Structure 1
Amino acid sequence: MMDSIKILRIQYENIPLFHDGCFAFSFLAEDRVSDPAQVFQLRKNLYTQKLTALVGINASGKTSVLKLIYLAISIVLARGSLNTLVYDKSLLRDETKITIDFCHGDSCYKLHSIIGKRAPSRSTGTELYFKEEQLFKKPLASIKSKKDVFCFDQTRLALQRSQLPKDALGFLKFDDSIVISIMMDRQVPAIKSLISYTNNNALMLYGHPTSELLQVFDSSLEKLSSSMIDNSISYTIKFKNNPQTFHVTSEWSLNNLISSGTIKGQNIMMLIEDVLQTGGYLIVDELENHMNKELVRMITDIFKNDRINKYGACLIFSTHYAEILDFMDRKDNIYITRRNQTDASIELLNYASEVKRNDVKKSDVILSNYIEGTAPSYESIQALEDYLCSRID
């Protein structure tokens, strides 16, 4: 498992909504590593993050960033087609460029992809496709410093989409990436997402969760199981010291019996198991939703624990609550979204680039608006209070 694929950096160019049409998101540990348990070692002084966080106020672009991260990772890991992956196609435009740096085994790769966008038709709707792609490859051993990781200037081109033989192109769909060719017969880390469940807290699992999984979120639960019979889902719930067993057939009824936090907890833990086993990636939008603060700490601690997280699985999450950042030991794995004051485009900033000090709590930095745009403005709050005063006789 040590040679499983690791994403190193994702870059977008010509992307609507974002400032200057681009952003970059790195999974490399750029700052000094004082405690190797906090990160996953690829080789010598090269480490990837086990936790990455996005923080920002409402409507600052956190979910859009997560969707684009999910898309890029899925191109490499999910072997899915552009038009079958679950994300918002409106985030891309014709001539959007995606660059993904990743490593596998003893090699490091850089994938350049140019996306095409076709006008919607009655039968298919808007279609995306790969206009051109280039794949570069170099030995991991050639990297002598962190500065070398993303440099492929002297590297020979390994694959180019437009130069593939016609018979090879015949097997490659217009919305499949050429990276599929190097992923054949390889164990690929899992890429899991709860983005679509942010506002829809439905139980995803089938079967019988163990008591350890159930009772950390609800100590009164003895049993929770679900099954599908004739395209209809059925839930079975039993509480401790209660002889009655409940059988319900709707999510509404289930939510009346157990808490939203318990449901979300089961969903997250099911996916955590998948990514821990493969060194994969789990993306969660608004991690704190329905969750007690200590349960959030528990989840982040799972990924930080090198006894449990043996293969460098990574949790990528967004949050409104800056206090959660105080659970994180590093600064370079925190990103901030905010709106540009001139054109309201989305900006993505790395916390470590903005704040050099280590002796202040991260939550204090965010909530104080030290990095402008990370907290609601005083003027907006005051205007709201004045408005409400004017409405009260």
Structure 2
Amino acid sequence: MDSIKILRIRYENIPLFHDGCFEFSLMAEDRVSDPTQVFQLRRNLYTQKLSALVGINASGKTSVLKLIYLAMSIVLERGSLNTLVYDKSLLQDETKITIDFCHGDSCYELHSIIGKRAPSRSMGTELYFKEEQLFKKPLASIKSKKDALYFNQTRLALQRSQLPKDALGFLKFDDSIVISIMTDRQLPAVRSLITFTNNNALMLYGQSASEVLHAFDSNLEMLSSSMIDNNISYTIKFKSDPRTFHVTSEWGLNNLISSGTIKGQNIMMLIEDVLQTGGYLIVDELENHMNKELVRMITDIFKNERINKHGACLIFSTHYAEILDFMDRKDNIYITRRNQTDTSIELLNYASEVKRNDVKKSDVILSNYIEGTAPSYESIQALEDYLCSKMD
């Protein structure tokens, strides 16, 4: 196996979350009856091709996605803590990140302790790695799923504080020691549309493939963009219309084509990246601007063995529980909810909460069978009573 695959991400001492921690696994924990729905690493070790987060408004879905993106970027993008795009307020001094992943013929566990400091009044707060440990074991030593995450008796491959001074001199304070094991081979792509959830700007440069364009708008003949003198220009042509439209602003583009078409071009461009490298695409509110069948089309792309040959994974959040019925497994669905005592965020695995396979996942979520997954009856009734009072 040449590709790098993330197995698990765990955070500790993170204020927003219940008990200060959460764990997100990309391993197939349940029995694998259909191997086409997962990606095989070794024997009975599989990773997910789809992973969903579902929850009501303000339940913490976006925060979870941001932290998943951060951890993945540290390993797969050699990213520096202070240059990656995420909400730094999610971390605090002494936050611990544990990342389990496979690379080549080895399995690794990275422990990183984050520090937070203000070097000067003018510079503001910066993050750095206080300490890190990297454990390594042969992939061939893994006999079961549990073995993959067991490192208690595994030798320590690297420790940040034990590195020679000359090595530390080349390592920036906000770069992880994990970059030392990454070769020059192409790393799996990590792509994110988190920042585009409420900002529907076209990311495309050049001309959109007609097959991609027509999947989202059959009336369009051509859509392209170019940069001239640092100014973006969009060219649009519709079928059965001799005119060609040229606009030079996102506002002008949004007046001509739908938000769903724009999002569709963006997401398909990133899907191509992650499919080619066996990477990860993170999308917040996948259903935004999308017809239900288009969402199904996107999830089906990742489930298709002929297309997804390298085990690329789509990680997305949704408000619409019906989308979960497109998912063939239970262990790749996570639920975010607010703890009833202290309103902290809880991250639950659906398979741990629901054992039955004969009930539609959307029915489970919408029925509030797992408490906190649907708006309360009392809140809805109170809203209706309030509106009634305004009608007097």
Deviations along 1:32-70, whole A, 9 cap, x unmatched?
Answer: 000000000001111000000000000000000000000
Residue 41 of structure 2 is aligned to residue 42 of structure 1: yes
Deviations along 1:237-260, whole A, 9 cap, x unmatched?
Answer: 000111000000000010000000
Return closer, same or farther for 1:171/1:105 CA change in 2, 3 Å cut-off.
same
Whole-Å separation in 2 of the counterparts to 1:24 and 1:61: 14
Whole-Å separation in 2 of the counterparts to 1:110 and 1:5: 13
Question: Secondary structure of the equivalent of 2:208?
Answer: coil
Residue 343 of structure 2 is aligned to residue 368 of structure 1: no
Whole-Å separation in 1 of the counterparts to 2:171 and 2:81: 13
Question: Secondary structure of the equivalent of 2:207?
Answer: coil
Whole-Å separation in 2 of the counterparts to 1:125 and 1:50: 39
Whole-Å separation in 1 of the counterparts to 2:254 and 2:310: 35
Which TM-score applies when normalising by structure 2? 0.99
Residue 315 of structure 2 is aligned to residue 316 of structure 1: yes
Post-superposition offset of 1:120: 6.7
Deviations along 1:195-214, whole A, 9 cap, x unmatched?
Answer: 00000000001001111010
Letter in 1 for 2:29: E
Whole-Å separation in 2 of the counterparts to 1:231 and 1:60: 40
Question: Secondary structure of the equivalent of 2:33?
Answer: coil
Deviates more, 1:185-194 or 1:156-165: 185-194
Superposed CA RMSD in Å reads 0.7
Post-superposition offset of 1:3: 1.5
Could you tell me which residue of structure 1 aligns to residue 79 of structure 2? Answer: 80
Residue 1 of structure 2 is aligned to residue 5 of structure 1: no
> Which residues of 2 match residues 286-297 of structure 1 at below 5 A?
286-297=285-296
List, as ranges, runs of 4+ consecutive aligned residues in structure 1 with deviation greater than 6 Å. Answer: none
Whole-Å separation in 2 of the counterparts to 1:96 and 1:365: 34
How many aligned residue pairs are there?
392
Whole-Å separation in 2 of the counterparts to 1:291 and 1:95: 40
Post-superposition offset of 1:125: 2.0
Deviations along 1:3-27, whole A, 9 cap, x unmatched?
Answer: 1000000000000110000000000
Could you tell me which residue of structure 1 aligns to residue 27 of structure 2? Answer: 28
Whole-Å separation in 1 of the counterparts to 2:119 and 2:339: 31
Whole-Å separation in 2 of the counterparts to 1:41 and 1:141: 14
Question: Secondary structure of the equivalent of 1:308?
Answer: coil
Deviates more, 1:177-186 or 1:338-347: 177-186
Whole-Å separation in 2 of the counterparts to 1:380 and 1:334: 26
Letter in 2 for 1:210: A
> Which residues of 2 match residues 1-393 of structure 1 at below 5 A?
2-119=1-118, 121-393=120-392
Which TM-score applies when normalising by structure 1? 0.99
Return closer, same or farther for 1:301/1:81 CA change in 2, 3 Å cut-off.
same
Deviates more, 1:105-114 or 1:382-391: 382-391
Deviates more, 1:141-150 or 1:171-180: 141-150
Whole-Å separation in 2 of the counterparts to 1:68 and 1:239: 41
Letter in 2 for 1:70: Y
